[in-house]
Structure 1
Amino acid sequence: MVVVMQPQATEEQKEHVRETIHTLDCKSRDIQGDAITIICVIGNTLALTPEQFEILPGVDQVQRIQKPFKLVSREVQPHKTSFKVGDVTIGGNEITIISGPCSVESREQFRTAALAVKASGARIVRGGAFKPRTSPYSFQGLGEEGLKIMAEISEEIGLPTISEVMEPEMVPMVSEYIDILQIGARNMQNYPLLNAIGHSHRPAMLKRGLSATIEEMLLAAEYILTGGNHNVILCERGIRTFETWTRNTLDISAVPVLQKATHLPVFIDPSHGTGYADYVAPVSRAAVAVGADGLMIEMHPTPERALSDGEQSLTPEALSALIPELRRVARAVNRVIV
């Protein structure tokens, strides 16, 4: 349920609406538009009636949200969400490129990769310190030492960072070093983790689960927003189908579908979406053309020696060659890649 205030509503009238919401054992959240304020009623609203709010001074109208997801819906917030991470704007007209290695393997390896990311024109550097791998015998990451390396190199080169967090208890530690918290596909419905990140001050990227529907992804994002964290990126990274010629099946149509349903920025991960470096460039071009707000592209200084996901990682030279191509596609759809 949302309460739409009149354009001339005073701050006292808005506060009275909020207090009324709280007395009904619900939470409130303001969405500020160009001319009006919308106050969301969060909680069990089935027993509430619009008339309880329509009689309050300064209220224009009250609407029930029909979709199962509320805060992420364009019914609640018609305008697109955008926010800054360092000097980078997420969700604006500029398409954001994130790149870097799947795993932080050493300080030298990550520094070489991060410098290549910056030289290519990408704006945010990725790296995995904790790696949830399918096999227990695969490289699991450097842990907190990897996070420290990322923080040091980020400070040196001036690029924000993103890295995965796997458990609720890890959120404070990862937040200490990293600018954007990534929720991996295997954890999309880890509800304690979603709740913990909802109470974090760090922006979050939520990756679509291996077999998750669009609605399930949006409801997972709803957990984060209900915790108070509204700076959330949705990332389509491919889903599991019968096809075996690619690692996953990238649902490119998820971009316009999500953008119609939600105000949150939508990214594409062409590396996990295909699983092979040969396919990353064409799928990246398609992602920009279809309207994605950003890309997360894996790159490794020496993919053939990578400890994880070398097959899908671009070389620094390939990344530097790709970004000018993406700029040309972006111009064709009235977007910008700086």
Structure 2
Amino acid sequence: MIAQELNLWIESVLLIEYPFKRASLEYLGGEYSEIIVSTPNGIVPIGKNHPTVVVAGPCSVENKTMIVETAKQIKASGAKFLRGGAYKPRTSPYAFQGYGESALELLSIAKQETGLGIITEVMDAGDLDKIKEVADIIQIGARNMQNFSLLRKVGSQDKPILLKRGIAATINEWLMAAEYILAAGNPNVILCERGIRTFDTKYTRNTLDLSVIPVLRSLTHLPIMVDPSHGTGKADYVPAMATAAVAAGTDSLMIEVHPNPAKALSDGIQSLTPVKFNNLMHKIFVIDQTIHKLA
């Protein structure tokens, strides 16, 4: 009798073998999700069946002139989003931590002057409301990938979330972190590979795991981003890894760009100049067009 009554209300039962239920590719019946972001310049879709979306900008917001001019230059090269840290998680407590709320104001000015979408990181749930006023996509950094209370908090609001892979996280751990956000009610999660820690740190900052792109394609419907700047830690290696990521099928890229990397307050060594970024964008466009024509 009870079973008969339940049949009136249950349309179907979906058995998903993975622990990450909502993040699983099976959850959408094998279809890939897309995230639609509304920016002042218009709608930007991010997902498997769309052109590669490029996010660019400095590690940290330093001053108005720098962030506005950088935004104008990356927009002219084809970037859709400006990245810039207002709050910076640093290994050393004595390193530059970002300018906080004043940096958010500068990001807002850059957004108004260029129409670019904004991506910036939240480190503390107490800062979420003021970050939401400026950011179009909210970043959870590698160090906070398993900050479960913060994941629940960002999952309870509707701004898209960029979830960076932890520096020593397995793919399962990464997808389970995404599950926290999805389970809290926010379906708009982008997974960002930014390099993992391995035994060799002499020549690169991290080991960029490009094999994760096809692996994620087989496991999850969520869009994929690759950050070759943090993944290699050296500007000279960024173009090769960025183009390789596009060839491997990433949905989006995050690339650090600074007008004068030698004087950057943080991560200048891995930042491209605007000229080098523009050259890279031409290569990305050619590969992206080729990949989508062959698909």
Q: TM-score, normalised by structure 2?
A: 0.94
2:83 to 123, 126, 130: 126
What is the CA–CA distance in structure 2 between the aligned matches of 1:183 and 1:68, rounded to whole Å?
Answer: 21
Compute the displacement of 1:332 (Å): 2.2
Compute the displacement of 1:172 (Å): 1.2
Native 8 Å contact 1:210 1:240 kept in 2: yes
Q: Which segments of 5 or more consecutive residues in structure 2 lack a partner in the other structure?
A: none
Native 8 Å contact 2:82 2:116 kept in 1: yes
Alignment pair present for 1:115 and 2:85: no
SS in structure 2 of the partner of residue 93 of structure 1: coil
1:320 to 258, 264, 278: 278
Compute the displacement of 1:156 (Å): 1.4
Q: Deviations over 1:285-308 (max 9, x none)?
A: 100000000000000011010000
What is the CA–CA distance in structure 2 between the aligned matches of 1:58 and 1:65, rounded to whole Å?
Answer: 17
What is the CA–CA distance in structure 1 between the aligned matches of 2:280 and 2:118, rounded to whole Å?
Answer: 21
SS in structure 1 of the partner of residue 120 of structure 2: strand
1:82 to 12, 34, 37: 34
Residue 235 (structure 2) aligns with: 277
Q: Which segments of 5 or more consecutive residues in structure 1 lack a partner in the other structure?
A: 1-48
Alignment pair present for 1:210 and 2:161: no
SS in structure 2 of the partner of residue 62 of structure 1: coil
SS in structure 2 of the partner of residue 206 of structure 1: strand
What is the CA–CA distance in structure 1 between the aligned matches of 2:150 and 2:247, rounded to whole Å?
Answer: 33
Residue 333 (structure 1) aligns with: 291
What is the CA–CA distance in structure 2 between the aligned matches of 1:328 and 1:181, rounded to whole Å?
Answer: 29
Higher relative contact order (CA 8 A, sep 6+): 2
Residue 33 (structure 1) aligns with: none
Q: Deviations over 1:216-236 (max 9, x none)?
A: 000000000111111110000
What is the CA–CA distance in structure 2 between the aligned matches of 1:327 and 1:130, rounded to whole Å?
Answer: 32
Native 8 Å contact 2:68 2:109 kept in 1: no
Aligned partner letter, 2:45: T
Native 8 Å contact 1:93 1:335 kept in 2: no
SS in structure 2 of the partner of residue 228 of structure 1: coil
Native 8 Å contact 1:300 1:314 kept in 2: yes
Aligned partner letter, 2:279: A
Shifted more, 298-307 versus 91-100: the winner is 91-100
Aligned partner letter, 2:34: S
What is the CA–CA distance in structure 2 between the aligned matches of 1:152 and 1:72, rounded to whole Å?
Answer: 35
What is the CA–CA distance in structure 2 between the aligned matches of 1:188 and 1:93, rounded to whole Å?
Answer: 26
Native 8 Å contact 1:139 1:307 kept in 2: yes
What is the CA–CA distance in structure 2 between the aligned matches of 1:305 and 1:137, rounded to whole Å?
Answer: 18
Residue 67 (structure 1) aligns with: 18
Native 8 Å contact 2:77 2:278 kept in 1: yes
Compute the displacement of 1:64 (Å): 2.1
The 3 A distance-change label for structure 1 pair 234 and 53 is farther
What percent identity do the matched residue pairs reach? 50
Native 8 Å contact 2:229 2:270 kept in 1: yes
What is the CA–CA distance in structure 2 between the aligned matches of 1:81 and 1:276, rounded to whole Å?
Answer: 32
Alignment pair present for 1:185 and 2:142: yes
Compute the displacement of 1:266 (Å): 0.5
5 Å-filtered alignment, 1:194-205, equals: 194-205=151-162
What is the CA–CA distance in structure 2 between the aligned matches of 1:52 and 1:269, rounded to whole Å?
Answer: 52
Compute the displacement of 1:52 (Å): 7.3
Aligned partner letter, 1:79: E
What is the CA–CA distance in structure 2 between the aligned matches of 1:195 and 1:179, rounded to whole Å?
Answer: 18
Aligned partner letter, 1:96: V
Compute the displacement of 1:104 (Å): 0.1
Alignment pair present for 1:246 and 2:204: yes
Aligned partner letter, 2:20: F
Residue 216 (structure 2) aligns with: 258
Alignment pair present for 1:160 and 2:111: no
What is the CA–CA distance in structure 1 between the aligned matches of 2:175 and 2:259, rounded to whole Å?
Answer: 35
SS in structure 1 of the partner of residue 25 of structure 2: coil
